[in-house]
A and B are shown apart, each in its own frame.
Chain A
Amino acid sequence: MTESGTKQANVQEIIATLKDKPGALLPILHGIQDELGYIPAETVPDIAAALNLSRAEVHGVISFYHYFRDTPPGRQTVHLCLAESCQAMGGKQLEMHVKNRLGIGFHETTADGNFSLEPVYCLGNCACSPAMQIGKDIYGRVSTDSFDSVINEMEKSV
């Protein structure tokens, strides 16, 4: 099976497994994003048909939630916390450094496809501000130096 064929089969399976849950749309969208990294526009008609919704309704839900994305992310997504506690501990300076180091702004992906950068409003790691999350890993008391060493390490392994 081709790669896109496999993906399509996986999406169909996710939809079939979850569609009968009450309020199934968010679980389905999470399932697809966990599998593919984003929710491709071409999956919307299938989701809509399975849940007896219009495509517009499904699109409306995807676009409402900051976490769902309809474009492929970089190999790693950096979620940088911008909330008050992190600001109190130098989050703004860190934000400038992160954008500079990666050479991108928020909601963008580096040209080599390695990193996407997204803002997040609180990771619940406020006792260890400033904080960020990469994949499912959370980092506390992030400094410009510790950010660089994490990124350097990841660049080596890509």
Chain B
Amino acid sequence: MTVTIYVPCDSSAVSLGADRVAKAILQEANTRGIAIELIRNGSRGMYWLEPLVEVATSAGRIAYGPVQPVDVASLFDADFTQGGAHALCLGLTEDIDYFKKQQRLTFARIGKTDPVSLTDYISNEGYRGLKNALAMTQADIVKEVTDSGLRGRGGAAFPTGIKWNTVLNTASLQKYIICNADEGDSGTFSDRMVMEGDPFVLIEGMTIAGVAVDATQGYIYLRVEYPHAFKILNAAIASAYEAGYLGANIQGSGKCFDLEVRLGAGAYVCGEETSLMESLEGKRGLVRFKPPLPAISGLFGQPTVVNNVISLASVPVILDKGGDYYRDFGMGRSRGTLPLQLAGNIKHPGLVELAFGLTLRELLYDFGGGSASGRPIRAVQVGGPLGAYLPESQFDTPLDYEAFAANWTVLGHGGVVVFDDTVDMAVMARYSMEFCKIESCGKCTPCRIGSTRGVEVMNEIINGENLGKNIPLLRDLCDTLLNGSLCALGGMTPYPVLSAINHFPEDFGITTDATAA
């Protein structure tokens, strides 16, 4: 009987050798005359175990990892195609604690299915949301999304339903759906995992959005750093067209939706929605003034929905199981689940999708297992390069938009980067200014000039020069950036800088007395 074996095609798994492992398994099976079907699935998100090889058995899928090409012969010797015992055997994949404790809604299929198989997608609850949507009025679709409490997962947390409603109610001959797939924040990779591991869920989410607001053209603005996602998305889009899930007259409904992937070109600021639209129009990615809102005058001056990958990929489950179902997860005003990403100096890095409300400490230790180096965790940056650094005293903050905001911290896109006690927070603060300097679009003065001055001041502080003058100057500069910048790049660079100086003053050469003064 043919045995089904899974080796992820996820680019992180590939970066650890998954392609070579897949090749070795095929060769070995061939040599031994064992019939196997090799499926390149998405990643389960347990990256310390990648490349994670799974074997389908009658009891369920059994995991082996991390597997390197040299392990393959011994796996066959141990009869792993029948789930045989081996030092790398991890038991049933879905019984691994890290995975079992999660609440996977948006990531329900990722790692289970063949990402580019439409048949696999449909037989695993795919396209049920669209089917429901096609039988509903546009206002009802938007209401379902509004009722779910879904907020923009890109970081700004704006209610998705309200955005859609504005576009629905703005009359125009042409409207657009843009998926912001310019996932540039360090420590984040959930968008990439969706696009590589379950591209149809994003395509379905965008199609529902198009049907809901009368938009007939969609664009996925993908960062050029994701070549694997580009390939997989294009393959999935081609199958969706072929099966009548994209294009004219979707599934005989009379509705039309076209979808195209466009590549960015390495500009972080193009993750800002107005800069992204400039870029899609073929221009320099300069941030636009708001208003007008993109929902009223967006791409090519037309009403446009701009949503993050995770927001759009959460729409199918909402339309399938109902807004209430989704809303019942979470806490306070943060409803549903958030795919958190554990990265940096952490023992068990990976993807953890959970309802809002878990504390950062639980995430870092119960899931993450503490630092990778074994040293104490000193600082954690949540929310990407524009997110604040949290010291140990703030680790009990629940992962919830409002609880984070109350601490002057940012939950953002759910990226968590961990640093051990060897980190120099003054160096990290300088890096934040450098990053802003490199990535500033240059349109507004506080960001363009302020970041350059920020690097200079930080250099003097690191050299211990004139602290009495330079520390207040740095704070003053941050105040200007915070209040005077046009977009979040300049406006939020002060979060990492000021949180570093406030929580770790000793790294800036500030004694307790000087802070008080």
Chain A positions near chain B (C-beta within 8 angstroms): 22-27, 29-30, 51, 60-61, 64-68, 79, 83-89, 120-129, 131, 133, 136, 138-141
A21 to B426, CA, bound (A): 47
B282 at the interface (CB under 8 A from A): yes
Q: Which residues of A contact B343 (CB under 8 A)?
A: 85, 88, 126-127, 129
Which of B189, B191, B284, B344 meets A64, CB within 8 Å? B284
Interface positions of B from 170 to 201, Cβ below 8 Å from A: 183-189, 191-192
A153 to B50, CA, bound (A): 24
Pairwise interchain contact A30-B350, C-beta atoms closer than 8 A? no
B12 at the interface (CB under 8 A from A): yes
Interface residues of chain B: helix, strand, loop or mixed (majority) = mixed
Q: Which residues of A contact B228 (CB under 8 A)?
A: 136, 138
Which of B285, B349, B372, B417 meets A65, CB within 8 Å? B285
Tier of interface size on chain B:
35 or more
A126 to B188, CA, bound (A): 7
Tell me, rounded to whole Å, the shortest Cβ–Cβ distance linking B418 to chain A. Answer: 6
Q: Which residues of B contact A129 (CB under 8 A)?
A: 343-344
Find the residue from B189, B192, B343 having the highest chain A CB count within 10 A.
B343
Interface positions of B from 10 to 48, Cβ below 8 Å from A: 11-12, 14-16, 47
Q: Which residues of B contact A68 (CB under 8 A)?
A: 265-266
Tell me, rounded to whole Å, the shortest Cβ–Cβ distance linking B291 to chain A. Answer: 22
Pairwise interchain contact B282-A88, C-beta atoms closer than 8 A? no
Given A64-B285, A121-B435, do A83 and B186 touch, yes or no (CB 8 Å)?
A: yes
Question: Can you spell out 28 A-B residue pairs with CB atoms less than 8 angstroms apart?
Answer: A23-B300, A25-B282, A27-B262, A30-B265, A60-B284, A64-B267, A65-B267, A66-B266, A67-B266, A67-B267, A83-B186, A85-B417, A86-B186, A121-B385, A122-B188, A124-B11, A124-B223, A126-B186, A126-B187, A126-B189, A126-B341, A126-B417, A127-B349, A127-B350, A128-B47, A136-B227, A138-B14, A140-B16
Tell me, rounded to whole Å, the shortest Cβ–Cβ distance linking A39 to chain B. Answer: 11
Which of A66, A79, A85, A120 meets B187, CB within 8 Å? A85
B226 at the interface (CB under 8 A from A): yes
Tell me, rounded to whole Å, the shortest Cβ–Cβ distance linking A116 to chain B. Answer: 14
